[in-house]
Every structure is written in structure tokens, then in C-alpha cells.
Amino acid sequence: MDVSSVLVPADRLKQHLGSPGLVVLDASVGARRGADRVPGARRFDIDGAMSDPGSPVPHTMPSPDRFTEEMRALGVNTSDTVVVYDAAGVYSSARAWWMLRAMGFDRVAVLDGGLPAWIAAGLPTERGEPEPPEPGDFTAHPRPGFFVDADEVAVALGDPGRAVLDARSAGRFAGTEPEPRPGLRGGHMPGSVNLPFTALQDGDGRMLPAPALRDLFADATGGRERLVLSCGSGVTACVLALGAELAGYRDLTVYDGSWSEWGLPSGRRPVETDGTGGTGGTGS
């Protein structure tokens, strides 16, 4: 299956479903995880095994060794092609796509519109757990620069050549809506720009065409090409990464700790609540 594009429509995935060397992964998270799944899909558990168990904040990237172990347990081979999706549309599937890319695996694409698009196309689903696969031979080859920490974000905020984009809703960015995780401060990083991830999608949860995405990013970045992407816990920041890549941006990195780290009540990191920002969804 050709994944030269980072997006795969439902009808094309259906044509190849069950083909040797094609692995479909369900990367749904939290309350957005449903009972139905694409036939044969295996669970890419961002809430559990696919996050660092030693991190004090949620959804952080696991070590290369742990990632290798978990991908092998999912039966993924180095030679496979992977399509990831989630039950919310394009939400946490983009996080799985970005993680695989960060670990040196490029034959991965996102199901455009996710499970809702699959169901809307009248395609079959199943319930229950699939048969455990044979262990794969996947090996992580981590690439530097796909994720950055708070110190690197602080540097980027002071760099006129870089734009720090926040995928959370306008209300959370402004500090007028409460954070869903207790104890976090409201607001945003001084100098960051709000681009809610929902602004990158149509009403059916599919990603906008590349020209529309280019316009959105050009407005948000003021023409800057080097992007640092953040959100609530490093999940929907990856939707921005997906959209930016579709729009032609190549110098991208994700702040893994995102607001779950920056917004901690320690007060170490500066926060603004000036009410600037766009419109859109919640942004995990």
C-alpha cells in the first residue's frame, strides 16, 4: 500500500485491508475510545503502554527500547506499512503517526476522518480484541528534534525566526476556560500563538486541503517556517504537525510536556492570560 501521502482515505484503506504487510492501529484515547474498530485493528495505547510510565505528565514519549518492545508486541515489522486512526476523527492518531516518525519509521499514514469517516462510508467494523499477532521485528531508530523540552521551548519563544503554536481552544489559551487537568494554571506561554487543531479540519473531522492549511499556518506564523507545536498533553500538537506537513512545512517539533508541564503551579514558567487567540476545540 502506497503511503506517499500522510493521509489515507477510508475507501483506499478498505481496498488494501488484510493485505500482507499492512498493519492498522487504533490510537484512540480516553473517553474518545469506542467499542467499534476497523476489522483487524490493533490497539496503540497512548494512555498506557505507549507513554513513559516514569513521567510526571501524561502522554510523554517512551524510551526507544520500550517503544521497540511495544511495537514488536503489536506484531509490527520493519518492512510493514502502518495506518493509524482514532475514534474521534483526526485527534490522537496524529500523535501515533508522529511517534512512529520520531522513531525512524516513515511508512505510516493517518486515516483521514478516522473511524467516523470509515463508518460514514458504510464500511464494516468489529468489536472485541483481535487475535494476538506474531511478534514483529520493529526496531526504533530515534531521530533528534522531533520532540523538545521546556527549556528548548523557552529559547524558541525568544527566537524571532520561530513560531510556537498552541493547539488548545481559544478559551484555554486565554485562561477564560478551566484546564481539564486539575491544578494547572490557565493561559498560555508569552509569545505563543493560538491555532486550535479543530481549525485544521472540516465539519466531518477530515483535514482541510493543503491550500487552506497553508493559509491558516501563514496567518498564525507571520511567515515563519520553523515551528514548535504544543497543546494540553502533546496529543493534538501532533495534529498541527500533520497539518503543517500537509501545508509544506518541514522544520517542525513537538513540545512533549506541553501545557501539562508548562502550566504546573510551580510558577517556574511564565504564563499570560491576555485573551488573545483564535477559535476551536479543546486540544488535549
Q: What is the largest CA-CA distance in the chain?
A: 53
CA dist., res. 29 & res. 236, Å (int):
11
Long-range CB pairs of 128-132 (<8 Å, 24+ gap) are: 129/43, 130/40, 130/41, 130/42, 132/75
In Å, what is the CA distance from 239 to each residue of 54, 130, 267, 274? 25, 27, 28, 25
CA-angle at 213, arms to 212 and 215, nearest 5° = 65
From 41, 108, 231, 264, the catalytic residue: 231
C-alpha cell of 81? 506499512
Handedness of CA 175, 181, 182, 185 (dihedral sign): negative
CB 117 within 8 A of CB 89: yes
CB 281 within 8 A of CB 198: yes
**238 is annotated as an active-site residue:** no
Q: Which residues are catalytic?
A: 231
